[in-house]
Chains A and B, each alone.
Chain A
Amino acid sequence: MTDPAIVVRNLSKTYGSGDRAVRALDHVSLSIEPGTVFGLLGPNGAGKTTLIKALTGITDITEGDASVAGFDIRRNPREAKARIGWVAAEVILDDDFTARENLWLQAKLQSLTNWESRADDLLQYFSLKDRADDKVSHFSTGMRKKLEIALALLHQPRVIFMDEPTIGLDVSTRRMLWDIVTQVHKEFQVTVLLTTHYIEEADALCDRVAIIDHGRILAEGTPSELKARVKADIVQLETSETLDPAVLAAIPGVQEARAQGNDWLIRVASSEGFLPQLFRTVRTDAIRRISVEKPSLETVFLEVTGRRIGEEEPMRDVRKFYMQMARARR
């Protein structure tokens, strides 16, 4: 059995002290198998970037342990960092240098010898060979991202950290980057830990996903496993007249129905079976709006955090609804 690529045990990180102390990570534990693409999914401020900073050794760990590629990041930082690649949220290159010079500097920082052929192969792989001797300040965003990934791969790392790799990118560049991450992971056989607040990105790229919020890991599993936690479709219904809860509850397949005024959140086993029944039970002209949400990482996130990923503050009623349902299932 191979050792995990990343092990995090009870890791906490607190910024500041006293009354102004902010706990960015709160007893996080993770074990990431080698060769996987692992996603940390959470909103801004959830602690994703702090975890990457802790695992790459650029911020101190307040409590707990972490090892990367078999080396404790606090006790053996140099050995760990020699096996780490890093792709930043914002592209970080030396704009005064050419693509090849950026690779040269990265090779020097990693004390590589005979790096040139590897650099040529990477430039070729990322279709940058023709522009190798151009200053990177003249590169498009997509080319700069590709070069940054080439820098991360130059020293044949065991683990690559990608911190919000597609943030701020247009749709086509984001898609291109998704393809690159998938290909790179297979081609170079590296473990990838990426952070994202894009649900679809985590779903499309990651073998396993951990949902993080307020510095805590709230759920972890494959996207399928996480979706299986939500064993129902969610129907949101707005009506123009008051409905009798008993009428809705009597429809076969309804697991839970809660209302705030005339706004309903109904958990059903299958929306395909539920909707025809609903239309037979409720006058269709009394239905103002109806929407169906199939199990997705979005609904998983909603269930475990009580809010949608883009929302700053929890929607109290929805949170309460999900919390109550979660408790009811236990």
Chain B
Amino acid sequence: MTLQWSPFWGLYARELLRTFRNPFVLLITIVQPFMWLAFFGSSFSAAPASVLEATFGTSNYIQFLLPGVLSTSMLTVGMFGSMSTIQDKRFGFMKRILITPTSKGLVFVTKALGSATRGLIQFPIMVAAALAFGISFHLTALEWAAWVATLMLLAIGFCSLFLAITARSTDWQTPGVVSNFITMPLMFASAALFGAKYFPSWMIAISDVNPITFSTLLGRSFVLGGAIDWSYFGYLAAFAGIMLTIGYVVSSRWLAVE
């Protein structure tokens, strides 16, 4: 396998350029996590500070929630990546790509990385929104970079997962159906919205292997301070690597052209 740099760059750049050319996609990408922060994040604003401290380790729930919302929104990014691929199949653009020396595997890689990168647009917007909600950040440059890299790895993993599952599909509705099956369990059985300490044992078992939990806890340790467990980063890197490999193999073999 040799990496075709020229088509890689062309397709990757296309993914990003199309995002900025399509205000609706951009708006949804930004607004959805912002809504979570504004509405869900405000749901504990009237709770006594002592209760919040005891439950979440901070008196500001939004500060607790921010890393979790950013992590769960990477699931949505995967769904958009899958929808974009199905759009290319239905409008014939996949044929235009594949009637060139470009391989199916490369199409998959650019979709996964392009969609994941697109998802990171949310990061500066959400941080700015959190600042507006009164959150203060005390991260080092390394921690900022590590937080972005954490989310990137998570997004690559989920984009790859979605793309692998929908590789053969040309139905617009498939990514939505897959999203419903994946998003809800992974979002709620994780430490993203609440701590896992009050979960039943079966949910703890899911949460303990859920990449969203690892991404959330790592992000939370950057935002709230405290000990940073860098092994979580390794876990997420492995998750991204394995999903990328599976997606590459599946797409190389089974990616539908139309």
Contact = CB atoms under 8 A, between A and B. Distances in A.
Interface of A: 56-59, 77-79, 81-82, 84, 86, 88, 90, 92, 94, 96-97, 101, 104-112, 151, 161
A88 B99 CA distance: 11
A95 to B, nearest CB: 9
Nearest to A91: B92
Given A58-B257, A109-B97, A109-B102, A92 B92 contact: yes
13 contacts: A78-B101, A81-B100, A88-B92, A88-B95, A92-B91, A94-B93, A96-B21, A107-B10, A108-B13, A109-B7, A110-B6, A110-B101, A161-B99
B110 to A, nearest CB: 11
Given A92-B95, A96-B21, 16 more contacts: A57-B99, A84-B99, A86-B99, A88-B95, A90-B92, A92-B92, A94-B18, A96-B17, A105-B14, A108-B13, A109-B7, A109-B11, A110-B100, A111-B6, A151-B96, A161-B99
A82 B95 CA distance: 14
B101 A86 contact: no
A101 B92 CA distance: 18
The size class of the interface chain B forms with chain A is 20 to 34
Nearest to A95: B91
**Sorted from nearest, which 3 A-B pairs have the closest CB atoms?**
A108-B10, A111-B6, A109-B100
B4 A92 contact: no
Nearest to A161: B99
A111 B17 contact: no
A105 B102 CA distance: 12
A109 B10 contact: yes
B22 interface: yes
B39 interface: no
Given A97-B17, A111-B4, A81 B92 contact: no
B18 A96 contact: yes
B139 to A, nearest CB: 35
Contacts of B100: 81-82, 106, 109-110
B35 to A, nearest CB: 26
Nearest to A83: B101
Given A58-B98, A88-B92, A92-B92, A104 B10 contact: yes
A139 to B, nearest CB: 16
Contacts of A81: 99-101
A135 to B, nearest CB: 8
Interface hub of B4, B22, B101 (most chain A Cβ within 10 A) = B101
Interface string B182-221: 0000000000000000000000000000000000000000
B9 interface: yes
Interface string B14-31: 100110011000000000
Given A58-B257, A94-B93, A105-B14, A111 B98 contact: no
Contacts of B7: 108-109, 111
A108 B17 CA distance: 15
Interface in B144-180: none
B96 A92 contact: yes
Contacts of B17: 96-97, 101
Nearest to B257: A58
A58 B102 CA distance: 11
Given A90-B92, A94-B93, A108 B9 contact: yes
A56 B102 CA distance: 12
A221 B95 CA distance: 30
A32 to B, nearest CB: 18
Contacts of B92: 88, 90, 92
Interface in B55-106: 91-93, 95-103
Interface in B97-139: 97-103
Contacts of A101: 17
Contacts of A161: 99
B14 A94 contact: yes
A6 to B, nearest CB: 15
B239 to A, nearest CB: 30
A105 B9 CA distance: 9
Contacts of A106: 100
B11 to A, nearest CB: 8
A119 B95 CA distance: 21
A53 to B, nearest CB: 8
A130 to B, nearest CB: 21
A107 B17 CA distance: 16
A247 B94 CA distance: 63
A105 B10 contact: yes
A74 B7 CA distance: 21
Contacts of A110: 6, 100-101
A304 to B, nearest CB: 31
A228 B95 CA distance: 39
A151 B97 CA distance: 12
A58 B101 contact: no
Contacts of A151: 96
Contacts of A77: 101
A86 B21 CA distance: 26
B96 A88 contact: yes
A207 to B, nearest CB: 23
